[in-house]
Structure 1
Amino acid sequence: MSIRSKRAIVGLLAVTAAVVGVWAAAYPQSFYTDFPWPGRSWVSALGPYNEHLTRDVGALYLALLVLSVMAWRRPTPSALRMAGGAWLIFTAVHFLWHSLHLRVYPPADQVGNVIALGGNLVLAILLLLPDRPVEAQQHDTVSPDPAVLTPRAAALTVGLLASDRRSIVRSDALAGRDHLRGSEFAPEELQ
């Protein structure tokens, strides 16, 4: 899977984390009675209101938001795998628990629970899939890993460095510095 695809996935997870995290942490009573939208009370169907636990859920999602945004901003393979691993641990347990307690919901909400929570689980797994080889991403100028240059980026870098080196040598020669005479970096007129 390409880094670009994984970046989109972690961005989608970040949006999910932002919505749920802010809602549960800042407005726990509303989250308890109205999640996932007014009239569909998935949280309140599971037991009595507990502000502490609801805010903790919000804080958990906000922590996942921070990790997801970091991976989205700097989409290295290791950052994307780290985000995928964190989301996988959380969503696997969350999905399993809700799957075992679907009987409290009407059929439409049972399906909604499985789709919403299962979707996040699938997205987390996708972040853990192997990356496409760098050779397959030759058209990309920016490498997903800052330690690895794509062929195009390497060519551009070498071209810029060679151009800068020639400029420096010319300015040294024009300044009367002939210490480069005979050097491989000297302009032809000094050879």
Structure 2
Amino acid sequence: MIQLENTLVSSEVKERFFVCDLDKCKGACCVEGDLGAPLEKEELPMLEEAVEAVKPYLSKEAIEALEKNGPYLLDEEGDFSTTTIDNKECAFAFYDQKGILKCGIEQAWKDGKTDFQKPISCHLYPIRVAKLHDFLALNYDRWEICSPACDLGAQLSVPIYKFLKDALIRRFGEQWYSQLCEIIESDGQD
């Protein structure tokens, strides 16, 4: 475990390898699971604002789900997640020409249509962030559908913290990420 500021980073984040392999998994993380993507409360207004810019990328069924339910749902535990289509794929996902699920929010962001890149929970995956009293715990989330990503990451020797550099900087800042790399690379703490 690495303690850095108010975060506790699982040692698996430095020890495990990961590089998304969309050609093999086909974006299954956008359709598997019980809920849509977890959302931070601060993201809700950004998501609401992005909906119209994202709609041109989405299917008719996705647009209907968003119009019926709104862009996010509140679960029994008081957590927010993106709306899904019939409790399956995220309503913001779309299939590309290869049949791979991709994020419509991220595509709209890449095309300059919105300032909201995508939910930070998606950007940080396979890291999940949990609140523990005064700390945020960053844990590696093992999921069978990501086996191809683990294999590719091992083949390329890319640890999770390097694969997620941009996402970690987006969430915790450049200085935090630099300090994390220093700690990991000096192997000063386990």
Q: TM-score, normalised by structure 1?
A: 0.28
Higher strand share: 2
Larger radius of gyration: 1
Q: TM-score, normalised by structure 2?
A: 0.28
- Higher RCO (C-alpha 8 Å, min separation 6): 2
